[in-house]
């Protein structure tokens, strides 16, 4: 009998197949079918963004964050990259009987702090306890509602040849920090997750020339770029030597045989912007604390085979495909 595997939750190709063949096929409707980071819904004369994510990260505390911080940032970022101002979050917590009250309190305080930093409120919630072994410590779901910012008009359909691809800093930091936090490697590092709410960065750069944004979480930058190409209709070419990666992250990836381009991020966004405004947006990003290491890493090409190409560090070119299988389970 066919079974669900970890790869079905990886963000990669197995998950995309499952989402298409099971979820879209059966639950599909015009809003869901767009598969954006958020659904865009009209309420009266307002446009709202609406999104949800479950957080199952292991370990629940890690350098640079914890499951509480992550569960606010992840949902805030899904709203922000759709051009929305995040406003209202729901919070669904499931814990295992026997969890330390103190750990739960630390997580709630972290949610509080991150909400205040992101300017959002938890407005509704649910708390469930299951028997010991029914769940691994604590899982959190947040859903979020944002108001689409005035002047924001983002869609993969607006992407044009010549557009620049910008990322707001080093990639792979989150996944690398989680690998280290799991303690399976016997050396020390000073890796921190990049987990952060991106809404203030987004509102500092929002302008007409931004065509599309997405946050490269599960599946990493490579998978996110591959989600952009099919509906834009064009190719993307990335210059590997321009992609910012911390030396420590690169070293860890070499040891483990991972590719930073597929490593999850929790405080990064990829923006596709008109070449006309690219340098202006780059300087605005660099002026923001969460964008100091922003770089233009590639561009949209005229060619229409809808693939992502990587100009490698040594000068060759290869197709940069979507993640196959599962790199790191429970990364978010």
Q: Does 104 bind a copy of itself (CB under 8 A)?
A: yes
Residue nearer to a copy of itself on the CB measure, 100 or 302: 100
Contact 301, 224 (CB under 8 A): no
- Residues between 47 and 76 that touch a copy of itself (CB under 8 A): 48, 50-54, 56, 58
Q: How far is the CB of 29 from a copy of itself (least distance, A)?
A: 5
- Identified binder of a copy of itself from the candidate list 13, 61, 63, 108, rule CB under 8 A: 108
Q: Does 111 bind a copy of itself (CB under 8 A)?
A: yes
DSSP 287: T
- Identified binder of a copy of itself from the candidate list 59, 230, 325, 329, rule CB under 8 A: 329
Long-range contacts of 129-133 (CB under 8 A, 24+ apart): 129/94, 129/95, 129/96, 129/97, 130/94, 130/95, 130/96, 130/97, 131/96, 131/97, 132/96, 132/97, 132/98, 133/96
Q: How far is the CB of 9 from a copy of itself (least distance, A)?
A: 3
The interface mask with a copy of itself, positions 73-102, x = CB under 8 A, is: --------------xx-xxxxxxxxxxxxx
- Residues between 115 and 134 that touch a copy of itself (CB under 8 A): 115, 121-131, 133-134
- Identified binder of a copy of itself from the candidate list 80, 143, 149, 245, rule CB under 8 A: 143
Strand partners, 40: 49
Q: Does 163 bind a copy of itself (CB under 8 A)?
A: no
- For residue 163, give both structure tokens: 């557009």
Compute, in degrees rounded to 10, the torsion defined by CA atoms 285, 110, 60, 201.
-10
Q: How far is the CB of 134 from a copy of itself (least distance, A)?
A: 5
**By C-alpha distance, which of 328, 220, 325 is closest to 266?**
220
- Identified binder of a copy of itself from the candidate list 145, 249, 296, 328, rule CB under 8 A: 145
Q: Does 45 bind a copy of itself (CB under 8 A)?
A: yes
Binding segment for a copy of itself (CB under 8 A), chosen from 33-41, 165-173, 180-188, 287-295, is 33-41
Q: How far is the CB of 92 from a copy of itself (least distance, A)?
A: 4
- Identified binder of a copy of itself from the candidate list 62, 139, 212, 234, rule CB under 8 A: 139
- Identified binder of a copy of itself from the candidate list 6, 255, 287, 303, rule CB under 8 A: 6
Q: Does 292 bind a copy of itself (CB under 8 A)?
A: no
The whole-angstrom separation of Cα 192 and Cα 221 is 18
Residue nearer to a copy of itself on the CB measure, 31 or 185: 31
CB burial of 241-255 (b: ≥16 within 10 Å; e: otherwise) equals eebbbbebbeebbee
Residue nearer to a copy of itself on the CB measure, 144 or 169: 144
Q: How far is the CB of 252 from a copy of itself (least distance, A)?
A: 22
Q: How far is the CB of 308 from a copy of itself (least distance, A)?
A: 23
- Identified binder of a copy of itself from the candidate list 17, 20, 59, 112, rule CB under 8 A: 112
Burial (CB count within 10 angstroms: exposed 0-12, middle 13-18, buried 19+), residue 154: buried
Could you report how far apart the first and last alpha carbons of the chain are, in Å? 28
Contacts of residue 103, defined as CB under 8 A and 6 or more positions apart, other chains included, come to 60, 61, 137, 138
Q: How far is the CB of 117 from a copy of itself (least distance, A)?
A: 14
- For residue 255, give both structure tokens: 């040891």
Residue with the two structure tokens 């405080």 = 267
- Identified binder of a copy of itself from the candidate list 3, 186, 188, 190, rule CB under 8 A: 3
Q: Does 183 bind a copy of itself (CB under 8 A)?
A: no
DSSP 214-277: E---TTHHHHHHHHHHHHH-SEEEEEGGGS---HHHHHHHHHHT--GGGS--SS--EEEE-HHH
């Amino acid at each position: 009998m066919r079974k669900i595997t970890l790869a079905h939750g990886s963000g990669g190709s197995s998950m995309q197949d499952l989402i298409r063949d099971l979820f879209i096929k059966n639950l599909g409707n015009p809003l869901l079918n767009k598969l954006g980071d958020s659904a865009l819904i009209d309420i009266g004369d307002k446009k709202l963004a609406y999104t949800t994510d479950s957080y199952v990260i292991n370990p629940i505390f890690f350098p640079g964050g914890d499951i509480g911080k992550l569960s606010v940032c992840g949902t805030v970022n899904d709203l922000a990259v759709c051009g929305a101002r995040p406003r209202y979050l729901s919070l669904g917590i499931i814990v295992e009987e026997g969890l330390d009250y103190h750990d739960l309190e630390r997580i709630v305080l972290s949610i509080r702090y991150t909400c205040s930093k992101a300017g959002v409120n938890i407005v509704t919630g649910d708390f469930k306890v299951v028997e010991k072994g029914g769940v691994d410590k604590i899982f959190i779901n947040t859903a979020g509602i944002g108001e689409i910012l005035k002047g924001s008009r983002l869609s993969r359909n607006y992407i044009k040849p010549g557009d620049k691809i910008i990322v707001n800093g080093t990639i792979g930091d989150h996944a690398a920090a989680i690998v280290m936090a799991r303690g399976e490697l016997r050396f020390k590092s000073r890796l921190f997750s990049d987990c952060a709410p991106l809404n203030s960065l987004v509102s500092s750069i929002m302008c007409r020339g931004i065509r599309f944004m997405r946050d490269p979480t599960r599946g990493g930058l490579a998978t996110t770029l591959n989600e952009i190409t099919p509906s834009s209709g064009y190719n993307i070419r990335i210059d590997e030597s321009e992609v910012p990666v911390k030396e420590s992250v690169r070293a860890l990836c070499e040891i483990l045989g991972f590719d930073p381009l597929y490593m999850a991020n929790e405080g990064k966004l990829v923006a596709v912007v008109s070449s006309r405004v690219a340098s202006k947006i780059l300087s605005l990003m660099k002026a923001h604390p969460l964008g100091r290491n922003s770089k233009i890493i590639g561009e949209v090409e005229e060619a229409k085979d809808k693939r992502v190409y990587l100009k490698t560090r040594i000068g060759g070119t290869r197709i940069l495909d979507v993640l196959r299988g599962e790199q790191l389970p429970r990364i978010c």
